[in-house]
Every structure is written in C-alpha cells, then in structure tokens.
Structure 1
C-alpha cells in the first residue's frame, strides 16, 4: 500500500519565541499569482511618442497603447478572445505595434501588426502550417523588416523583406539548408549559419546575396551554444560576437570586419556575458550584463555609466532596461524587488528622473511574499550548481535564508535543459512557499549561462549525472536543515517534466511524489516527433542526448527513457499536458500513463485541448495548479486552497486517475 502522507508532527519542534506559525501567514489566492497581470511588457515607441503594453481586455491579454504624455488616453489595439498575446514590439517607424500569435499552442506563430492611429490589424504572414520568425528590425530602415517564413519547406525559413505599409513580402534569400542568417542595419544579409554533422556550426560570409563557399568561422559542438555572431554596428564595419573559443565562458568580442582582428570587450570567469545594451544611433556596445547569482550591469562607455549608477541607487530591487527610444532620451526600466510585485518605470535621462508607470500585479502589494536566496551547491564531482531557495515566511521570518526548522520541499526543475533558473520574482516559488514548502531550483549541469564546460558536462547525461545533480541538491537541503529526506516532491515542465519522470522511475523511493508538466517519457519518440523547423539543431540533439541512428545511441536512449521503467514507479504522480504540443508530443504523456495504468500504479492525467508546450491561458494554468496544490497537500501535508470551480472554468480533461488527486473527482462532477 502506498502511503501518501506522514503526520505533520514530523516537522514540529520547539520554536523560538520570535518564530511565526503558518497560521500567521495568510494564504495567497492562486488567481492573484497566476491570473492576468494588470499590465505587463511595456514598450516605448522609437520616436518616444507612444507607450504600449499588454493588459486584459474582457479577461484576455491584449495590446494597449497610449500617448507617452497621457496614459489616461489608453485604448486597446487588439481583441483576442481566447489566447493571450504574450509579447510585442514596435515597428521602426513608430506607426504600428507588431506581435506574433499561434493557435491553441501549436507554435505556428504568424506575424501581425496593428496601426496605432487607425486600429487596422494586418496578418503579414497569412499562411497555414507556417511558423514566421522576425529576423531583423532596424531603425535605419523604417519602412520594412526582415522575416523568415517556412511555408515552402517546413525545415527552413526563407528570408523576406516585409513592407510594413503595404504588407508586401519580397523574397530576399531562398534557404536551402541554413539554420539562420544575420543581417546588418541596412537589412542586408551578411552571415549565414549552417549546422555541422558534429553538432557544431559553420558561419559563412554573405555578399550581395551570394553565400561564400569558404567558411568564415567554424565552431565545434563544445562551443556551439556559447559562440555566435550577435550584431553589426550601424556602419557595418564592426561585428560583435559572443565567443567562448579558447576560453570557458562566453566573452563579448569585437571584430573589425575588414581586417578580421578581434578584441575582447568583456568577459567574466563565473558566467557568460548576457544582455547587451547597444547605442540605438551607432550600434556600438554601451553596457553588458553578467548573470551569475544575480544579474548586474557593467558599463562599457562613459555615456551610460552615470545612468546605470543612478538606476542602481534609485530602484528598490533588481532592475532591467527593457525598451529605449531612438534618441536614447527615455528608457523603460522594470524593477523586481522579489518580495513585492514588479513595477515598470519611465526614466528620463536628461532630467535624471524616474516615473512609475504601473505595478504589474497590484493585488500582491502587501501580500506575504517570500525572499529568494541564491545558493552555491557542490555536486559530488565538484561542479558548482548555482541554485535558488525560497522558504515559507514562518520558518524564516527574518529572510535570512536559514530555516528555523525543516519543512517539506518541492524541487522545482527548469526546462530546456539548455536554459537556466535565475534570481527574481517567481510565481511558482511564491505560491509553493506560501503553501508551506521550501522551494529549490537548481541549475544542473547542461544549464546555460555558466560557460561551455558546464553545458558539455551534461552531454549524454540525461537521467544520469544531470539527475545526480538534483539528488545532490536534495541532500544539501537535508544536511542544512531545510527539509527531511522523506518529504521532498519533484516538479517541473519540459525537461523538468522529464526529470520528474526520471526521479520517480529511476530513484523510486527518493521523492514523495512528482508533478510532470509536458515532460517526455520516451526519448526515442521525443526525437522522432520534434518539429521540422528544428532540423538545423537535430545533430546537436543527437550529440548531447543520444544518437538514435547508432546502436550505441539507441541503447543509451532506451536506458534513459522513464517509460521503460514505469513499472518501478512507487510514488504518486500527476501529469499535465497540452494536446497541441509540437515539442513534446501528447503521446509522451499518454505512453507512460498507459504503462502505469496497465500495472495499476496510481497516476493522475490532465489534458488541455487548447494548449501546447505549457499552459498559456491563465484559466488553464490556474486549473492545473489547483489540482497540483491539493495533490501536494496530500503528499507533503502542506496548505491548499480548495479546487472550487477552477477546473470547471478551464478546458481541462481528466483522462485518468481523478480519484488519486484530492478533490478532483468532485470538482469535475
């Protein structure tokens, strides 16, 4: 018999007089964390006359715009009825706001634009089964942009010049096997990128549409994710690279195009160079950021140094420059205090003045949000795993990062795996900590941002050393009094979902339960069903995961697929899946649910027919999280807000195992 929960008394003890109890910290409603923000993703037009942002219209996130001088005159630009718009950008002539949108999470993103004055909306890429890409926008070519469209061959994006006024598409370059292109500010293609058989990339110079036969630069697998050309200066004479060749972390390198001479502008032994601020007028680098434990800006040119110092001094939290005018006189700055909702500010450079535009989630002002604490955790072989810990308020009322007593823990694993967790407000950390759990997110080997050696350490290590890193982090949490070994759940999406399945299948008694969101269960079928437009990256997948075209690779993929060990699963499992997911096909979840059901192993399976790789619609995300927190409450003895009508309000289909998730059977009656 599977025991889902142990008495909460395991975590009781003698508390110091100043300590809080859970009863002292109110429950934060799910809707306040995962519902629509009031405003988000603001952009200032290049001419500085307009502000745009994303905000609800009739309950769905849409585009809004207002004169920069009078936000009271805001008006909606779009009228999406079901699927939220999640990002947008300005046309270079400041006449329209552009955005991409798919259908039901299929990731066939089409490009749209809305004229600010007339409100007319145009679908610039009105094609079926097509994924449009924005390749280059230049303020020096205000009437057009470059886009990639794969409607001729789904594997490759042909390059088109899009006339923004007429919507006319003009072919610039037919793509016969190149993974991408880099253009200059005159919208001329200058570099073409082609995948190599070893998982690396070859870069070729492009001259007047002709691609050189001789490589400009060749990069092997080791440097493939940390070396690439970034941008040309406006005069086209200088090319910036992110470059890890002959070093570990990616440096910012400047190359003279005529001579080929390179100069290192910035490097950091701890982490790759991250976001770069370029002068809108010249294209020259002004500043860069480094994100090791936290993000920090470093000025390159004197003209921006004073501004960054002013923002650091006058913002309460980590700040990010998100949008700037062409004249560089006004910036939009997002400020993240972690323990308060994020806000967006208008920065007037000349006046050295910050004006708050909005708070994204005002309903969280005054809420008991918990601090996030960066941690450096040592893996068993000595690698340093940059991680982030959030504790319930009542075991760390002083926000010290030290728990006064052990509490249950959720190991929250990021997707990718070639991505990373970072410092800042995290809705999942806040929600789970408020429910009574320590939350630990670990940048396991293979994560990006910490140099090429750290990425390569994850090669062929799915379910092995990458999983060992997660186990080592759990042991660190146990040793440091954060939790106890029998009270840890594992949860994540995409690769994090795979890690969850690996956790309950490969180490079946380590975790008390697992929550898998769009995670692959069978690495063979995962690689067979990747989208065709990922063709350029296929060899890199094979070299870093396992090659299904070789016997050795087949054996490795078989032994790393949780599906083949489904019979070993002993602990409760909850699975969420988008039916239209193009990255992790719905069969990835169906296969392991079927295998567990055939052996009468408890599993709860929830599918959303209008979602893809994750849940974009808040109503669906809230529904799955309602199921999740009640599932975790049974498993870990934490707190939970009742499911209520959350599932009924969504498109959720409970395909299997409603009886194993508390309250779910009643919620769907």
Structure 2
C-alpha cells in the first residue's frame, strides 16, 4: 500500500533530550499522539510521562531524577516539575504525580541548564514581559537570581559553581545575540549590542567559553572566548559551510556539524587545537540539529546523544561513543516507511537580481495523471530558520498525492551565511516574497504547469503564503496558511508582550516603520487575492494570535472566494497533537487536490 496522509501522520518519531554517563538516554516519542518522555537503557524502553501535551526534559546530574518541562494546550507557558526515577511507579507519570518545581501557570518558565542539585531557568513572572535567569536548589527550593536586566534571554551556560553564567540576549540588529557574563561582580558585555553576529551553543569550560558565532565572518564557526576580556580564538572555521560546535563537559572535544545544504556532516575535533580527530558517520543524508533537539553530551564526556531525521527517517535517537566515533541507532523509525519515502534533489533557482535560491525538489515516482505537473511550494517559518533534508509528513503526503513539491530557502533563511539570512531584514521584507515569483518563473523550465501552483507554509511561512496570494495574485492557484501572519502591524500589536521587541528587530518597529509594515502586510492587499485559501490556527497561540487568521479569512470571504478556517481550541503555535493533525491535514490536502487538478 502506498503512503497516504493518515499513515504518515500516525508514524512514530523519536527525540533525544539527554544522556547519562551510564549510557541511559532520556528520549521523547510521539507514539501516544504528543511527545512524551521515555528512558532508553540496555535495550529496554520505559515510558516516563503521560501528560496531556508535549513535554521535554533533562536528567538532574548525579541523581535518578528528571526535570520535566510542560505547558497546557500549546500556550507555551512552560512549567517545571521533578520526576523521581528511583521510586517504584506502576506506569508513566501523569501531572498530579509529578513534584512541582517551578509552577505558576500565568507565566513562562523555561529550563536552560541543569547542575548537580540545581536547575537554571528563565522566567517572566516579575512583570510578564522581561525574563530573569534564576538558579534554584532542588532540595531546599532556595533561589538565586543571576540576571534581571530585562528583555529576553536566549541561552545560558552556567559556570560549574552556579554563581556565574554566560548568557546571550537579543542584540540590536536582526538575528544577533549579545554575549554576556553575569556573576557576583555584575554583568560583563563580551560583545557589543550593535554587533551583527550570532552566538549559540555556548558552553562554560574550566579554561573559558566555547561558542558558535559568525562575528566578523559570513559563515558561523566555533571559537573560544575569554570570559574576562571577550578575546576570541577561532578553533574550527569554513568558508563553504556554516559550522556549529558542541563542547564536551571536560573541555577535550568538540562535536562539529557542517551544514551542507541542509544535511549534517559530523566530526569530532580537539577542543584545544581545533584539529579534526575523527568522523562521525550518520546513517544517511539527514539532519541532527535545530529545529530538532540539539546534541547533548553526557556529564562524563563519554557519549553524545543525537536526534536524527532524514527524508526517509521520521526521527531516531543515535548514541555516539566519543572515544571511537561509533554512531549507534537506539530506535528505528525508518522501518515504518518500507522504503517508500521520496528523497529530494538539490537545486539553485535563479532570481531577478542574479541570486540563486537554494531549493529541494521532491518528485512523485508515479504521479496521479490528474495532478501531474502541479506544484506546491512548502515554506518554512522563522524567518530565521532553514528547510533541511529531514522527514516532513506534509511534504511526503503531497508527493504521494501526486504533486511536485519544492522546498526553498528564500532569502532570510539561515544555513547559507550571514549575507543570505540578512537579505530580507526590515524594509527588505518583500525581497523574500519576490523570490516566490522567481520560483514560479522556474516551474516551466522543469516541466511543471505554472497555472497549477500553490503555496503552503506555517508561521512566517504562512505570512509568505498570504503575501504571495496578495502581491502575486496572477501566479498562485491556492494557498494553505498554518498559524501565519496576515498583518505585520496587528501581529506586532497583539503578539505576547515579551515577544514584541524581539520580533521588531526583524520586521521593523511600529513606531518607526508603521508605513512599511502596513504596505508589506497581506491584509492590506487582500482585495487583490484571487485564489482560494485554507487556514489552520491554534486558539492558544501566543506568538501569532488567532486574530491574524480570523481577519484574513473574513477579508477573503468578503470577496466571495472559498476560504476554510479551522481553529483548534487545545493548540498553540502549530498543531502538536496527532488527533488534530489527522483532522486538519487530510482536509487541506483534499483542498489542494481539488484546486490543482488538471
């Protein structure tokens, strides 16, 4: 039997969250319909949680305990609880069986780091807007505020003593992070707020900090940073690929990923010299970093645990032995697909101004004659994100239905250097929309029918869907918008207060750029939309409020066009629950098949 959307959405995938020195792995699986915690050890799988929504977690070092992060119905107000694994339990824990650690459902509490007997988390409970960084003693409940200077906090790496930490906060330019050190002596700025550079995967080692950064470079590399002076020493760099590095806790090794056009190439490097020590062979072409959970080292630096996904691998847990580089799969999600998934070919699509848009093309092996020649562009969110060569049930379902699927990384996407991800900032927003037109112009060159082309996207990708329909109405035959932005103005006015300033860096501010934000909003040009629209949204979405979906649906319906609006009361920014995906996505695929059929 061929692949269909129901079968694809019912596939089980795995995520890796942590690994102990013993080799025990804290994993997540969505077998129940939302991601729940499972422990993998000695070939056995022990279900740990059975909560209403998706969860993540980390081991508490030195103890048989897990810190569980959970929210309610996708509202993203994360809460922290403790699950003891050294106490007998008849089955997976439900919420009343977890020990409250940090609970206040009106506010957000994000787990940032774990130390022996302590957790480091950020919270906006002080005023609902600014995030403070707090260290909490698990046994006593005593808390110490590390940072409370306002704004968002992105990453935190605690010093071994728990009294100091390196952290990143949003910088002034879009997609920039300022690297700070906080401790008893106050706050030290290791990079200026106006420096256009990223700092990620920060790790505090005995002899300094290690971070992934593109300061003064186009491509990200791995550098050592002096926590006193900010002096930087490059360890691993590349002129061709963005690199990301994760330092082992003992400071001896770096796991380095090269981003090869959306596929991960891994190697272990000497953390002192940057020299390559050994390759880590992945099972196939695929991906093992953001938006998947990042690789995690065991506290004794013996193991690294990875989440791996490829075009034919929904998601597996891989365990890497740092001494040998051996990579062992602890799960086998690909067995569910029977070799029926389609892998993409990689292309560069020429644009109006001489650029070339990276694009993955998925072609149906045996297309339905009614849909042969049709095309669906699937657009990622962000915009500071990247479509990678990982498994996507929607892409595979569209291909199985008979569509050619193009998955581009339009300007503004990460993974291709600073110049490319900065090319849509602020008042250049519509350059990314113009890339959609260039992709449409390319369709006849690859034998596709430009009259039967549609757009599908989520979040910022949903904005691109709506912008394509509004600003290029003669090009697109239909659109599917999932939790997308219909007006940059109302989005910034109504998004969660703690997110507004963070997003204004990318899109422009309501105070200084209101005229452009209005002009670049699909809602402003909704009168030009000529194609039918299908809209999906979660009622609890704190990022893109439901009103964004409601107002574009009302405007399209006012023109007499078909516009379906499906709202799910127990979802947030996207559809996290399988039952809702099984309801929504078959309807969306039927909608596209109806409008793209020859």
Per the shorter chain, which TM-score range? 0.7 to 0.9
In the alignment, the residues of structure 2 paired with residue 353 and residue 104 of structure 1 have an alpha-carbon distance, to the nearest angstrom, of 39
Give secondary structure in 2 for the equivalent of 1:177: coil
Question: Residue 173 of structure 1: CA displacement?
Answer: 3.1
Give secondary structure in 2 for the equivalent of 1:270: coil
Task: Give the 3 Å change call, closer, same or farther, for CA 614–133 of structure 1 in structure 2.
Answer: same
Instruction: Give unpaired runs (5+ residues) of structure 1.
Output: 1-25, 397-404, 639-669
C-alpha RMSD over aligned residues:
3.1
In the alignment, the residues of structure 2 paired with residue 205 and residue 343 of structure 1 have an alpha-carbon distance, to the nearest angstrom, of 35
Out of 122, 125, 137, the residue aligned to residue 163 of structure 1 is 137
Match in the other structure for 1:590? 550
In the alignment, the residues of structure 1 paired with residue 250 and residue 9 of structure 2 have an alpha-carbon distance, to the nearest angstrom, of 39
Match in the other structure for 2:291? none
Alignment map for 1:82-93 (pairs within 5 Å): 82-85=52-55, 87-93=56-62
Match in the other structure for 1:206? 182
Cα deviation code 1:392-433 (max 9, x no counterpart): 01269xxxxxxxx96211000111111111112222221111
- The answer (yes or no) to whether the contact 1:105–1:612 under 8 Å persists in 2 is yes
Out of 461, 464, 474, the residue aligned to residue 430 of structure 2 is 464
Cα deviation code 1:593-632 (max 9, x no counterpart): 2222233232111111111110000111121111111101
- The answer (yes or no) to whether the contact 2:165–2:183 under 8 Å persists in 1 is yes
- The answer (yes or no) to whether the contact 1:547–1:554 under 8 Å persists in 2 is yes
Match in the other structure for 2:246? 277
Match in the other structure for 2:579? 619
Match in the other structure for 2:352? 380
Out of 13, 33, 36, the residue aligned to residue 62 of structure 1 is 36
Match in the other structure for 2:386? 420
Question: Residue 271 of structure 1: CA displacement?
Answer: 3.6
Match in the other structure for 2:400? 434
In the alignment, the residues of structure 1 paired with residue 364 and residue 15 of structure 2 have an alpha-carbon distance, to the nearest angstrom, of 29
- The answer (yes or no) to whether the contact 2:466–2:481 under 8 Å persists in 1 is yes
In the alignment, the residues of structure 1 paired with residue 276 and residue 500 of structure 2 have an alpha-carbon distance, to the nearest angstrom, of 45
Larger radius of gyration: 1
Cα deviation code 1:494-549 (max 9, x no counterpart): 111111111111111201111111111111110111212225525413xxx23321
In the alignment, the residues of structure 2 paired with residue 117 and residue 584 of structure 1 have an alpha-carbon distance, to the nearest angstrom, of 41
In the alignment, the residues of structure 1 paired with residue 158 and residue 235 of structure 2 have an alpha-carbon distance, to the nearest angstrom, of 22
Alignment map for 1:600-615 (pairs within 5 Å): 600-615=560-575
- The answer (yes or no) to whether the contact 1:193–1:204 under 8 Å persists in 2 is yes
Task: Give the 3 Å change call, closer, same or farther, for CA 307–359 of structure 1 in structure 2.
Answer: farther
Question: Residue 69 of structure 1: CA displacement?
Answer: 2.1
- The answer (yes or no) to whether the contact 2:134–2:144 under 8 Å persists in 1 is yes
Task: Give the 3 Å change call, closer, same or farther, for CA 301–184 of structure 1 in structure 2.
Answer: same
1:547 paired to 2:521: no
Match in the other structure for 1:559? 519
- The answer (yes or no) to whether the contact 2:412–2:421 under 8 Å persists in 1 is yes
- The answer (yes or no) to whether the contact 1:286–1:301 under 8 Å persists in 2 is no
In the alignment, the residues of structure 1 paired with residue 440 and residue 491 of structure 2 have an alpha-carbon distance, to the nearest angstrom, of 28
Alignment map for 1:27-426 (pairs within 5 Å): 27-35=2-10, 37=12, 40-43=14-17, 45-48=19-22, 50-55=24-29, 61-66=35-40, 68-71=41-44, 74-80=45-51, 82-85=52-55, 87-118=56-87, 119=89, 121-137=98-114, 141-166=115-140, 168-173=141-146, 175-180=148-153, 182-191=157-166, 203-212=179-188, 215-220=189-194, 223=196, 226-228=197-199, 230-235=201-206, 237-257=207-227, 260-274=230-244, 276-282=245-251, 285-301=254-270, 308-309=278-279, 311-312=281-282, 315-318=283-286, 320=288, 322-339=295-312, 342-348=315-321, 355-360=328-333, 362-366=335-339, 368-394=340-366, 407-426=373-392
Task: Give the 3 Å change call, closer, same or farther, for CA 535–356 of structure 1 in structure 2.
Answer: closer
In the alignment, the residues of structure 1 paired with residue 559 and residue 355 of structure 2 have an alpha-carbon distance, to the nearest angstrom, of 39
Question: Residue 561 of structure 1: CA displacement?
Answer: 1.2
Cα deviation code 1:167-191 (max 9, x no counterpart): x140323513253355323323344
Instruction: Give unpaired runs (5+ residues) of structure 2.
Output: 90-96, 289-293
Cα deviation code 1:320-376 (max 9, x no counterpart): 49444333444445554523555444455668766543223643234x211112222
Give secondary structure in 2 for the equivalent of 1:424: coil
- The answer (yes or no) to whether the contact 1:46–1:94 under 8 Å persists in 2 is no
Corresponding residue pairs, total: 580
- The answer (yes or no) to whether the contact 2:312–2:337 under 8 Å persists in 1 is no
Task: Give the 3 Å change call, closer, same or farther, for CA 513–266 of structure 1 in structure 2.
Answer: same
Task: Give the 3 Å change call, closer, same or farther, for CA 260–633 of structure 1 in structure 2.
Answer: closer
In the alignment, the residues of structure 1 paired with residue 567 and residue 303 of structure 2 have an alpha-carbon distance, to the nearest angstrom, of 45
- The answer (yes or no) to whether the contact 2:483–2:574 under 8 Å persists in 1 is yes
